Amino acid sequence: MKSGGKLTTPCRMRRLPVAFSMIFKRRTGSNSATRRTAFANRSPTYAPTGQRPSKVLRLISVHGLLVLLLALIGTFSLLRPETFPTAVNFQAITSARAVVALLALAVMIPLAANEFDLSVGYVVGLGHILAVGLQVRSYLPWQAASLLVVLAGAGVGALNGVLVTRFRISSFIATLGTGTFVYGVSQWYTGGEQIVGRKYPGGFLLLSENVGPVPFSLILVLAVAVMLWIAFEYMVQGRFLYVIGSNQRAADLTGIPSARYKVLAFVASGTLTGIAGVLLGSELRVGQSTVGADFLLPAFAGALLGATSVKPGRVNVWGTLLAVSVLAVAVSGLQQLGADFYVEPLFNGAMLVLAVGLAEYARRRRERSMAVHRNAETSRSGEVLTK
């Protein structure tokens, strides 16, 4: 299209209110910074006119998980009207799945840069052990113990980032290796036994209790989700991670420091995992080295399944929370219908495979749409130049 004698391409800019815009405003004094910011904020319309999908298909693609969640809630409410649609069941589901939700958001951050963090299960295990053990054995205040746990998680994330970026080790191998090392530390600290405390401070116990009718863990998850949503949608740093994950070569050519942002992504993932460890310690109130690894598959299932909704083709905050909610409601409903105890791991494993397949399909569909858009823009630009 032609505007003011210059060729322009259609773009869609997401803007915050003026108050937030002033907070997140960046200087663009250099041409390099300007190019990086413009490239990160660029959000094209991928399907040209005449080739856009129908409204029904778009509704299913964008809001499919929300529709599925409402359908599951309605179905289980009809089948178990005495127990499922109750405030007690809602509190139980949100409290039990808050740790999974935090871990899903944690693994989502490096996934945006096309990296995997397989250490989150072991780190959350060590986190809950330290949250309990530092109070019971070392007699630290719960605030100091919680801070040390979060710092330990951030340190493991920094180590993962350095191994991936500095030593060029695959994120699968690097994070799996550090996770196994962390598991060994958990075994050493506990000696293979449970760490049990008789009395914990009220502030520590509040993390797993209710604030009025709402679980505190739900408030914590929503607060973290809002901060990540702002970071990924309205801040340049979050856009850079998407650009790196989409095409690292293009990101490097535009001057984006890919290695730095990958390290920061792993640090953020480790920090959230540490917070999840503190929350898990408050819930269990017992430290044991066998806890933690079981959280890995549900976390990745939530993050990858979330990439098929809200913004299909890439991981996103609200899609992740919707996916975790779908998994939680489905498992709770099946258990109330009399399903055996082994249904949850079977269901989580099947959903992980399904999530990977759907996420890959959404990614390919997004790439095809982008290719069609680029070809259409190139053709229109050529016609304008010819005229």
Q: How far apart, in whole angstroms, are the C-alpha atoms of residue 316 and residue 291?
A: 27
Tell me the three-class secondary structure of 91-131, residue by residue. Answer: HHHHHHHHHHHHHHHHHHHHHHCCCCCCCHHHHHHHHHHHH
Token digits of residue 173 = 């191998």
Q: Residue 368 phi/psi, 5° resolution?
A: -65, -40
How many helices (H) and strands (E) are present in the chain, helices listed first?
15, 6
Token digits of residue 143 = 């605030």
Helix, strand, or coil (residue 256): coil
In single-letter form, the type of residue at position 29 comes to: G
- What b/e string do you get for 183-204 counting C-beta neighbours within 10 Å, with b at 16 or more? bebbeebbeeeebeeeebeeeb
Q: Residue 201 phi/psi, 5° resolution?
A: -65, 150
pLDDT in tens, the chain (387 residues): 444 444 444 444 444 443 334 334 443 444 555 555 545 555 444 444 444 555 666 666 688 889 899 999 999 999 999 999 999 999 999 988 999 999 999 999 999 999 999 999 999 999 999 999 999 999 999 999 999 999 999 999 999 999 999 999 999 999 999 999 999 999 999 998 999 988 899 999 999 999 988 999 999 999 999 999 999 999 999 999 999 999 999 999 999 999 999 999 999 999 999 999 999 999 999 999 999 999 999 999 999 999 988 888 899 999 999 999 999 999 999 989 988 888 888 888 888 888 778 777 777 777 787 777 777 777 777 666 666
Residue pair 144/260 in contact (Cβ under 8 Å)? The answer is no
How high is the pLDDT of residue 209?
94
How high is the pLDDT of residue 24?
41
How high is the pLDDT of residue 346?
86
How high is the pLDDT of residue 359?
73
CA-to-CA dists, residue 74 to 56, 62, 89, 103, 328, angstroms? 22, 20, 14, 27, 14
For 331, how many CA atoms within 13 A lie in the half-sphere containing its CB? 23
How high is the pLDDT of residue 37?
54
How high is the pLDDT of residue 16?
42
Nearest 5°: CA angle at 123, between 308 and 176?
70
- Report residue 130 CA to chain centroid gap: 24
Q: How far apart, in whole angstroms, are the C-alpha atoms of residue 79 and residue 123?
A: 38
Q: How far apart, in whole angstroms, are the C-alpha atoms of residue 161 and residue 224?
A: 21
How high is the pLDDT of residue 366?
72
Residue pair 37/13 in contact (Cβ under 8 Å)? The answer is no
Residue pair 120/299 in contact (Cβ under 8 Å)? The answer is yes
Residue pair 332/89 in contact (Cβ under 8 Å)? The answer is yes
Nearest 5°: CA angle at 302, between 296 and 305?
130
pTM: 0.83
How high is the pLDDT of residue 58?
67
Q: How far apart, in whole angstroms, are the C-alpha atoms of residue 358 and residue 293?
A: 24
